[in-house]
Chains A and B, each alone.
Chain A
Amino acid sequence: MSEHTPRQMQPTNRRRSGRLPRWMCLLLIALLPLAAAAQSPEEQKGLEISTEADQRDLGFGDSVASIEMILKNANGQTSTRELRLNTLEVPDEGDGDKILSVIQSPPDVRGTALLTYTHINEQDDQWLYLPALKRVKRISSANKSGPFLGSEFAYEDLASQEVAKYTHRYLRDEPCGELQCFVVERVPVYKDSGYTRQFTWIDHDEYRFWKVDFYDRKNDLLKTLTFSDYRQYLDQYWRALILDMHNHQTGKSTRLSYTDLRFRVGLTEADFTRNALRRSR
């Protein structure tokens, strides 16, 4: 009867899933001048930057990834998690991606799998597969700010980063490494977020995320996420293969790295059914 497993496993940032439909983005952009009274130029520019970053990720089709997470506590002790992650981009513009993730280690939860249908305007649908019982269980997707597999990543950090989930405000330009970055503040508007605001660093060249600072509900700096080892796939899509999350308040950190990432391997809807979940490994 006991079971304890994550309810959401989408370790990709800058995910495309469940963004604003394209027509809505166009509408928004068209309406921007009208909204000028309500929206400052900084907010306008912030939204434009975030929307552009998002748009550049359209059309990847499907992907399979192997992910390793190394959890480190304040004393430097580490613990490792391995996941396999299959993603299907849903062309229907009103809907988000389908994601199947399977835990490979630690071995006591090996084979535990999660199927997520992400949605834009309603809560996601999620089914958990418990291999010891052979049980497929529909679970609540209401959790947002809880830790993912005991790591420093919260579910909301790993879930789809769609534009409409935040309000955006451009702050300034500043150098980020060798590149020049926009600094955009975004405030979550979705329910149950653990954050009051986030600061994001997005480069001018390719609109890639390089850093995110997360502020907790008391508006204190909680965590910093940094992106590195960017690679380009299909001559178009940039993906950071290493994501480092550092918790300033506890001293704990988690490094999430992609050990394998492939696009357009030919996954279809049939690979994301509850029947497919039952036989995932």
Chain B
Amino acid sequence: MTPLGHRWLGAAWLVLVMTAMAAAQPSLSGFVALDVRGFPHRPSFPQQDTNQVLPSFLLQPEFYYDWPNGNNHLTVVPMARLDFSDDRRRRFDLREFNWLHAAPTWDVLVGIGKVFWGVTESRHLVDVINQTDLVEDSDGEEKLGQPMLRLALARDWGTLTFFVLPYFRQPTYPGGEGRLRPPLLVDTDSAQFESSMEEWHPDVAVRWSHALGDWDVAAGYFSGTSREPRLTLDIRDDGEPRLIPVYDQMDQASLELQWTVEAWLWKLEAITRWGNDDRFSAVVAGFEYTFFNLLGTTLDLGVLGEYLYDGRSASAPGTPFENDVFVGARLAFNDVGSTSILAGGIVDDKSGATFALIEASRRIGDRWTIELEARAFLNVPSTDLLYSVRKDDYVQLRLSRFF
């Protein structure tokens, strides 16, 4: 689509939305948060902010409009981040801006939306629709809003969902001053695309999901712009080295399985991906077992174990999860404040490189929450993708007010 066509579409969309909003019942929710990150180590690169305590703010309201007959809904979720050190974390994004029409056995969604595929905890291998928002969180669970047309059909034999994704978004990368970044600046403005349509290549996807007794199964297919770029080294005219992201076209078939029996969850995610004259497969498989009412108390203790394999070649976009093991534990207090703690680590089978994490949260009163998040990168050898962030261990305290 031409930029002009794009603009017209945008204007038509806005008119539609404004008309609709006038007729609908609005509601507002969301939260505002203060994040304080503490970095115990000095940064690896000279440009990086040497302050060891870095505060930032996050605002994420949700406007929701419901039409009187209950079948049409408009959701608008903007987010704004104010960061004092990294200019690429000073930004605004539309997480959602979509219209949903829901009929009993089908629904259609148009606009910017978010979709989750998958069953495992340590890595979201099959989750291919939305782009990862790396500057928000390094764990890959924060996503950018994705423009889409989504049609879901709910049938006796499962739910079939079709996606048309008319516009591609690049992942976010921290700026030069930011922590948790690659060794060189990623120059997203100079990104290269295999498709001549660049970001406007229409990507398509389909997913079937079904529950059969104790089994939940899903199969997906995606064809379009790879969400992960290859990062190639380039020297700017002024002699400054940089990384240029290159986005190949790819096809990916995926499978998700979960077997739930008593307190056990057994999980599997697998993909096979081809494109750029390469083909590889990857798997995450594991379990989660919960000891409910631990030792006669109201505590629940969940233990998690997952094995991660990725068979990609060196020419494919890099991953730190070639052959890794994840172990973790989740403690839920089941108290008034919903206190919970999650701790775990992903360990590389060969090098012993470890990504360790702790996440804890509790509610204070009815509208406040406090969350602690700690991440550490241990024993990272220079050959590992995580080498550039090896000094970026941090502890983050988040205080949120919900409204």
Q: A residues touching B (Cβ–Cβ < 8 Å)?
A: 1-5, 71, 73, 79-80, 105-110, 123, 125, 127, 133-140, 142-147, 149-150, 192, 194, 217, 268, 270-271, 273-276, 279, 281
Within the complex, what minimum Cβ distance (angstroms) separates B119 from chain A? Answer: 7
Secondary structure dominating the interface of A? loop
Asked if A133 meets B141 with Cβ closer than 8 Å, knowing A106-B363, A143-B300, A146-B292, the reply is yes
Q: Say yes or no: A138 contacts B298, CB within 8 Å.
A: no
Expressed in whole angstroms, the Cα–Cα distance for A134 and B95 within the complex equals 12
Q: Say yes or no: B64 contacts A281, CB within 8 Å.
A: yes
Asked if A140 meets B264 with Cβ closer than 8 Å, knowing A4-B332, A270-B154, A274-B209, the reply is yes
One of B119, B292, B332, B342 near A142 (C-beta < 8 A): B292
Interface presence of B56 (CB below 8 A): no
Query: What 7 new A-B contacts, CB under 8 Å, besides A140-B260, A274-B211?
Result: A1-B122, A1-B139, A106-B363, A140-B290, A145-B292, A150-B337, A274-B159
Q: Say yes or no: A134 contacts B159, CB within 8 Å.
A: no
Within the complex, what minimum Cβ distance (angstroms) separates B289 from chain A? Answer: 9
Q: Say yes or no: A275 contacts B154, CB within 8 Å.
A: yes
Interface presence of B114 (CB below 8 A): yes
Q: Say yes or no: A145 contacts B402, CB within 8 Å.
A: no
One of A4, A79, A109, A139 near B260 (C-beta < 8 A): A139
Interface presence of B262 (CB below 8 A): yes
Q: Which residues of B contact A133 (CB under 8 A)?
A: 116, 141
Secondary structure dominating the interface of B? strand
Expressed in whole angstroms, the Cα–Cα distance for A194 and B293 within the complex equals 9
Interface centre among A73, A138, A143, A270 (most CB of B within 10 A): A138
Within the complex, what minimum Cβ distance (angstroms) separates A59 from chain B? Answer: 23
Expressed in whole angstroms, the Cα–Cα distance for A279 and B263 within the complex equals 27
CB proximity to A under 8 Å, residues B318-348: 330, 332, 334-340, 342, 344
Expressed in whole angstroms, the Cα–Cα distance for A277 and B134 within the complex equals 29
5 nearest CB pairs, A to B: A107-B402, A4-B340, A270-B104, A150-B336, A275-B154
Within the complex, what minimum Cβ distance (angstroms) separates A243 from chain B? Answer: 18
Q: Say yes or no: B359 contacts A1, CB within 8 Å.
A: yes
Q: Say yes or no: B141 contacts A1, CB within 8 Å.
A: yes
Q: Which residues of A contact B296 (CB under 8 A)?
A: 217
Interface residues on B, range: 35 or more
Q: B residues touching A (Cβ–Cβ < 8 Å)?
A: 29, 31, 64, 73, 100, 102, 104-105, 107, 114-116, 118-119, 121-122, 139, 141, 152, 154, 159, 209, 211, 214, 216, 258, 260-265, 290, 292-293, 296, 298, 300, 330, 332, 334-340, 342, 344, 357, 359-361, 363, 365-367, 369, 400, 402-403
One of A73, A142, A270, A274 near B105 (C-beta < 8 A): A270
One of B152, B338, B357, B403 near A109 (C-beta < 8 A): B338
Expressed in whole angstroms, the Cα–Cα distance for A216 and B307 within the complex equals 40
Q: Say yes or no: B262 contacts A108, CB within 8 Å.
A: no
Interface centre among B114, B293, B339 (most CB of A within 10 A): B293
Expressed in whole angstroms, the Cα–Cα distance for A217 and B293 within the complex equals 13
Residue of B with least CB distance to A111: B29
Expressed in whole angstroms, the Cα–Cα distance for A1 and B100 within the complex equals 27
One of A142, A271, A275 near B152 (C-beta < 8 A): A275
Q: Say yes or no: A273 contacts B262, CB within 8 Å.
A: no
Residue of A with least CB distance to B330: A2
Expressed in whole angstroms, the Cα–Cα distance for A83 and B92 within the complex equals 32
Residue of B with least CB distance to A149: B338
Q: Which residues of B contact A281 (CB under 8 A)?
A: 64
Q: Which residues of B contact A73 (CB under 8 A)?
A: 336
Residue of A with least CB distance to B75: A281
Q: Say yes or no: A142 contacts B293, CB within 8 Å.
A: no
Expressed in whole angstroms, the Cα–Cα distance for A139 and B330 within the complex equals 14
Expressed in whole angstroms, the Cα–Cα distance for A73 and B118 within the complex equals 39
Within the complex, what minimum Cβ distance (angstroms) separates B263 from chain A? Answer: 4
Q: Say yes or no: A125 contacts B211, CB within 8 Å.
A: yes
Q: Which residues of A contact B400 (CB under 8 A)?
A: 108
Q: Which residues of A contact B209 (CB under 8 A)?
A: 274
What are 12 inter-chain pairs, A to B, with CB distance below 8 A?
A1-B121, A4-B338, A71-B336, A107-B367, A138-B211, A138-B260, A140-B264, A143-B293, A150-B334, A273-B154, A275-B152, A279-B73
